[in-house]
Amino acid sequence: MEELFQNVLTQVAEQFSRAFKINELKTEVSNRLAMLEKRVELEGMKVVEIDKCRNDIRNLREEMISRNHRYCSFLEDNKKLTPRRDVPSYPKYMLSQQTIEALKKPAFDVWLWEPNEVRSMLSCLEHMYHDLGLVKDFNINPITLKRWLLCIHDNYRNNPFHNFRHCFCVTQMMYSMICLCSLQEKFTQVDILILMTAAVCHDLDHPGYNNTYQVNARTELAVRYNDLSPLENHHCAVAFQIFSQPDCNIFSHFDPEAFKQIRQGTITLILATDMARHGEILDSFKQKVDIFDYTDEEHVTCLKMVLIKCCDISNEVRPMEVAEPWVDCLLEEYFMQSDREKTEGLPVAPFMDREKVTKPTAQIGFIKFVLIPMFETVMKLFPQIEEAMVQPLRESRDRYEELKQIDDAMNEVQKKKSENLTIGGKKNGLINGSEMTRAAMTTKRNRVIYSP
């Protein structure tokens, strides 16, 4: 009995021991599971963080590539700067007598040709250099002239506004002013060559984003040129990098001193196209215009600066059907910039904001306070431009003021409609949130009627 009792006690003790071990095992397993769950959670967080880091790195790489493509130096792009050696074989575009005569007038239609009809614009530019006697007087090789113009074309980007057609437009206006104002009777041929060449080169490799953006975004160009007219300095640098190619150097027959004069004159004019200097340049010209002296080099340089400024912003001088598409192009480029500025958290100029600007508001102030005062000052020296250039500006101003009045009236009607809807909704409880949203959207559409 005693042995049996001992056996029972032993078995009971073993069962209790086993039960305790099971509990310990359960506790250990639970602890291990908790640790594993925590570890999995931490690892999962690490994976999320790693993915986030990867996305950030990818976005940064894309941004760097984008900026490099947009702001990289032309010096790294040897393809564009390589002159075309097959120029003599391309078929010459024959200009009609009507086109040749029209080229001399400010009203010339620069939209005559499609963008792919580059040959026609190049032939017109070539004709201008021949017609002004520049090719003959400076012994410019006609084949080199062709190669240079092709290389110029290749170094204008496909922007909505600052593109090769704009280059042609500005150069044609310069040519028409030389003819209209008989500048060859007052300037030397070197001055005429500088005026034409600066017009051709004045916006080379323009990235489509203005100086304000360059400075605020701290781009490569802004850093390189210390925030001082970064785009205009860049245009000059591209121009003379092209001239450094022997096959594109239309100045190859100039001695070093003459070339230095051409280079300095061209740089001075291109830098003058920075609108940040508009007031300074125009004020200087106003001080000289009443006592203007063509034998005074400072007076002549100041006049040339004003002339290229006039040509650079002369679209409203042209007939409405020619000028208005340029406004659309300019607003499209402005909106591209302001959208990017909003994305990057940079300041946005109101005249570039698609939410705030319309065609009339964009043009009225510019015509009244920039264009007309400048052209009227030039008119003191050249009264003949009043009919061909100043009067069209006044008509353009009047037309846009009429458009603004129509816009204001439409906006006022829409505002009253919205107010009536709001009052009616409060009284009757009939206007819900979605209807209010539609009313707001309608008002917004009427306001930004010209966004691309």
Which residues are designated catalytic? 162
Amino acid at 223: V
Q: Where are the alpha helices (DSSP H) in 211-255?
A: 211-216, 220-224, 230-243
Q: Does the annotation list 163 as a binding residue?
A: yes
Find how far residue 23's CA is from the centre of its chain. 76
Q: Does the annotation list 137 as a binding residue?
A: no
As a dihedral over the C-alpha atoms of residue 188, residue 190, residue 195, residue 199, rounded to 10 degrees, the angle is 160
Q: Does the annotation list 296 as a binding residue?
A: no
Rounded Cα gap, residues 106 and 326, in angstroms: 15
Amino acid at 293: D
Rounded Cα gap, residues 278 and 26, in angstroms: 85
The sign of the dihedral angle between the CA atoms of 422, 446, 338, 309 is: negative
Q: Does the annotation list 206 as a binding residue?
A: no
Q: Does the annotation list 255 as a binding residue?
A: no
Three-class SS state of 95: coil
**Cα separations (Å) of 159 from 155, 316, 365?**
12, 20, 24
Rounded Cα gap, residues 431 and 422, in angstroms: 7
CB 307 within 8 A of CB 177: yes
Q: Does the annotation list 127 as a binding residue?
A: no
Amino acid at 188: T
Q: Does the annotation list 312 as a binding residue?
A: yes
How many Å from the N-terminal Cα to the C-terminal Cα in the chain?
Answer: 107
Q: Does the annotation list 166 as a binding residue?
A: yes
Q: Does the annotation list 202 as a binding residue?
A: yes
Rounded Cα gap, residues 50 and 410, in angstroms: 54
Query: What residue numbers does the annotated binding site for Zn(2+) cover?
Result: 166, 202-203, 312
**Which residues are annotated as part of the binding site for AMP?**
162-166, 203, 312, 363
**Residue list for the binding site:** 162-166, 202-203, 312, 363
